[in-house]
Structure 1
Amino acid sequence: MQKYLSHQPLVKKCHHEHHSHEHHSHHDARSIDKKILRISLIMTFLMMLVQFVYSILSNSLALLSDTLHMFSDVFALGLSFFAIIAIEKFKDKQKTFGYFRLEILVAFVNALTIVLSAIFIIYEAIEKLFNPIVIDVKTMIVVAILGFLVNAFNAFLMFRGANLDNVNMKSAFLHMMSDLFGSLVVIVGGIVIYFTNIYYIDTILALILSLLLLRWAIKLLRKSINILLETSPVDIKSVEELILKHRQVCKITDLHVVEITNEMFVATLHIEINIENLVEFEILYKELSKELLEHFNIGHITIQPSMVKKENQ
C-alpha cells in the first residue's frame, strides 16, 4: 500500500521531445532548474540596472516598461529560486507535505506583480498620450537590443533545460518570454520612430505590451488560485464513475481531490463497500489506487471504508 502514499510529485515516464530532462528524477530536475535560475537571476538583474538608467536618459516609456518587466523578472526569479531551495533544504514535521505548496504561492505572487506592473505602465502610457515627450531613439534601440539578447539567452536556457511542467518554473519562463517580446517590441518601435519621428508610437507599443502581459498574468493567476483554493485538478465526475465501476463499492459518501503542487495529486474518499473481510478490502484498495494513478495521476490515495450488509443476509 505504501506505493500509493507518495509524498513527492510524480515523475513522468516521458516528456515532450523538446524537453531535455525527460528521464530525470524530480530531484535532478530541481537541481537543473536551480542552476538555470541562478544564471538568469544574475544576468537579468545586471541588465535591469542598465535599462533603468538609460530609460531615464532616453525618456522612453516603452524602455521603462521593459525595465519594469525586468524588475518583475528579478523578483520572480528570486522567489522561484528560493522556493526550490526551501523544498530541498527546509524540514518541518508540521508541514506534512513539505514546502511543495510554496511553488504555487510563488507563482501567485509572480503573476500578481506582472498585473500590477502592467497597470502602472498603462497609466503612464495614457498620460504620455496627452503629454508626449522627445525620445533619444538611438539609445532606446541599443539598450533594447542588449535586453533582447539577455532575455533570449535566459529563455533559451529555460526552454531547453528547465522543467516547464512545474508551475513555478513556468511562471519564471513566462516572465522571460514576456520580457523577450517586450524588448523586441521596443526595438521595432524605436526603428519606426527613428524614421518617422512619430513619438506616440512608443506609448502605443507600451500599451500593447502591457495588455498582452495582463492576459498571460491573469491566466497564471487563475491556475495558482485554483490550486490554492484546492480546486480538483481532475474531473470529479469521471473519478466517481471509475470508483463505482467496482461492484464492491455501493456508494461514495465523500470524495476530495486536491493538487499540492505540479504532478502531486492527493485523493481522500469515504465509500460504502460490500465485502467479506479485510483481505477483500486490501485487494479493492490496490485496484482503486492503481486505476486512479494510471487514469488521473493521483499518487497519494487514502480510503476510509464503511461496511454494508449483503442483501441476502
Structure 2
Amino acid sequence: MAHNHSEKDTNRSRLLAAFTVTAIFMVAEVAGGLLSGSLALLADAGHMLTDAAALLLALLATQFSRRKPTAQHSFGLLRLTTLAAFINAIALLAITVLIVWEALERFWQPRPVAGGMMLIIAIGGLLANLLSFWLLRNGSEEKNLNVRAAALHVLGDLLGSVGAIVAALIIMLTGWTPIDPLLSVLVSLLVLRSGWALMKESGRELLEGAPRDINVDKLQRALVRTIPEVRHIHHVHLWQVGEKPVIMLHAQVIPPRDHDALVQRIHDYLQEHYGIGHATVQLEYQRCDEEGCDLHWIQGGGEHHHHHH
C-alpha cells in the first residue's frame, strides 16, 4: 500500500500546485480585464475559473476518497465531488451567458481597450496554463479521471489565452477593438463545451445512470455464456459512486454443488472484465416469471445437463 499512498500524495501535491497557479492567474486576469477594458481577458478568466474549479474538484475527490465510509454514508463522501461538479457546470453555463451578452453589447458600442496591458496579462495567463499543464501531465500515470479531466481543462484554456494574445496584438497594431468581444465569444464557446460535458457527466451520475463504458446487455449475455451454471441474469441495477461502479443482479442458476464458489466466480468475472469490485449477487434456482425476466432465457439454453458425482 505504501507505494499507492505516495502516488496519491504526488497526485495531490501536483493538483494543489496547479490549482494555486491557476487561481492566482484567474484573479490577475479578472483585474487585468477590468483595468484594460478587455472582455476577452474576462472570458479567459471565466475559463480559468472552470480550470480552478476542475482542479479543486479533483483535489476534493482525492481527499474524500480517503475518508472511511460511515453508517450514514456507506459509500463515504464520493458523491460530494459529483454534486460539486454539477454545480460547477451550472456556474459555467451562467458565466458563458453573461459574457456573450456583454460581447453583444460591445459590438454595438465598442469600448476602448488597453492593448499593451491586455497583451502582458494574456501572455502571463498562457505561461500559467503551460505550467499547470506540465504539472498535471507529470502526475502519476494511473488513470485518474479527475487528474485527466483537469489536464484537459487546462489544455482547452491554453486556446483561450492564445486568443486573448491575438486579440491584444490586433488591437495594438490596428486599433480594431471589436476583435475583443469577438474572441471573447469564441472563448465562451470553449467554456460552454466543457460546462455542458461536465453537466451531462455529473447529472448522469447523480441520476444513478449506468457508467458509460459498461453495456448491461452485453454483461448479461457474457455471464450466461461464460459461466455454465448461469442460465439467466435479470433485475440488473448498475450505477456508479465517484468512479466506482456498483452492481446488483439476480442470477437464475442450475443448483450448484458449491453455492459460495459460484457466487465467487460471478464476482471474479465482474471484477476482472468490468472492473466492478462492488457487486451484490442473488442466486435463484427457480425460473423467474416476472416481467422482463425472459429476455435472455434462450441464450442460457437448456442444454447444460447437471451431473451429480
TM-score normalised by structure 1 residue count: 0.82
> Which residue number corresponds to residue 14 of structure 1?
none
User: Secondary structure, in 3 states, of the residue corresponding to 1:232?
Assistant: coil
One of 229, 240, 244 as aligned partner of 2:207: 229
The 5-angstrom pairing of residues 77-92 of structure 1 reads: 77-89=55-67, 92=70
> Which residue number corresponds to residue 123 of structure 2?
145
One of 231, 235, 238 as aligned partner of 2:218: 238
> Which residue number corresponds to residue 41 of structure 2?
63
The 5-angstrom pairing of residues 174-253 of structure 1 reads: 174-233=152-211, 234-245=214-225, 246-253=227-234
Shift of 1:240: 0.8
Provide the aligned C-alpha RMSD in A.
2.6
Quick one: distance in 1 between partners of 2:163 and 2:157? 10
Shift of 1:179: 2.6
The 5-angstrom pairing of residues 1-313 of structure 1 reads: 25=4, 27-89=5-67, 92-161=70-139, 165-233=143-211, 234-245=214-225, 246-262=227-243, 264-277=244-257, 279=258, 281-308=259-286
User: Secondary structure, in 3 states, of the residue corresponding to 1:101?
Assistant: helix
Contact 1:54/1:140, CA 8 A, preserved across alignment: yes
Shift of 1:91: 5.1
- Report sequence identity in percent: 30
Q: Which runs of 5+ in 2 are unaligned?
A: 288-301
Go from structure 1 to structure 2 and tell me whether the alpha carbon gap of 1:269 and 1:217 turns closer, same or farther (over 3 Å shift). Answer: same
Residue-pair matches, total: 287
Go from structure 1 to structure 2 and tell me whether the alpha carbon gap of 1:127 and 1:174 turns closer, same or farther (over 3 Å shift). Answer: farther
Shift of 1:308: 2.9
Stretch moving more, 224-233 or 180-189:
224-233
Shift of 1:156: 1.4
Quick one: distance in 2 between partners of 1:226 and 1:125? 32
- Relative CO higher for 1 or 2, CA cutoff 8 Å, sep ≥ 6? 1
Quick one: distance in 2 between partners of 1:276 and 1:46? 63
> Which residue number corresponds to residue 5 of structure 1?
none
Contact 1:151/1:179, CA 8 A, preserved across alignment: yes
TM-score normalised by structure 2 residue count: 0.83
Quick one: distance in 1 between partners of 2:269 and 2:131? 42
Quick one: distance in 2 between partners of 1:175 and 1:78? 12
User: Secondary structure, in 3 states, of the residue corresponding to 1:168?
Assistant: helix
